[in-house]
Amino acid sequence: MIEIRGQVSIELLITIGVILVLFIPLLFLIYFKAGEANEQIMQVQAQVIAIRLSELSNSVGNAGGNSTVMAEVYIPATVKNISIESFETGAEITVHSITSNGPTDIPGLVKFNVAPAFFEFKNPGLTRFDISNENGKIEIKLIK
Each of the 144 residues of the chain gets a pLDDT tens digit; together they read 566 677 778 888 999 999 999 999 999 899 889 988 999 999 999 999 999 999 999 999 999 888 999 999 999 999 999 999 998 889 999 999 998 889 999 999 999 999 999 999 999 999 999 999 987 789 999 997
Give phi and psi for 112, each to the nearest 5: -115, 165
Using CA atoms, how far apart are residues 39 and 120, in angstroms rounded to an integer?
20
**What pLDDT is recorded for position 1?**
56
Q: Is 74 exposed, middle or buried (0-12, 13-18, 19+ CB in 10 A)?
A: middle
Which stretch of DSSP H or E encloses residue 126? strand 125-134
**What pLDDT is recorded for position 3?**
64
Nearest to 129 by CA among 65, 55, 73: 73
Q: Is 75 exposed, middle or buried (0-12, 13-18, 19+ CB in 10 A)?
A: buried
Using CA atoms, how far apart are residues 51 and 108, in angstroms rounded to an integer?
6
Global pTM reads 0.79
- The Cβ of residue 49 has, within 10 Å, a number of other Cβ atoms equal to 23
- The Cβ of residue 114 has, within 10 Å, a number of other Cβ atoms equal to 27
**What pLDDT is recorded for position 15?**
92
Beta bridge partners of 137: 134
Q: Are 111 and 59 in contact (CB under 8 A)?
A: no
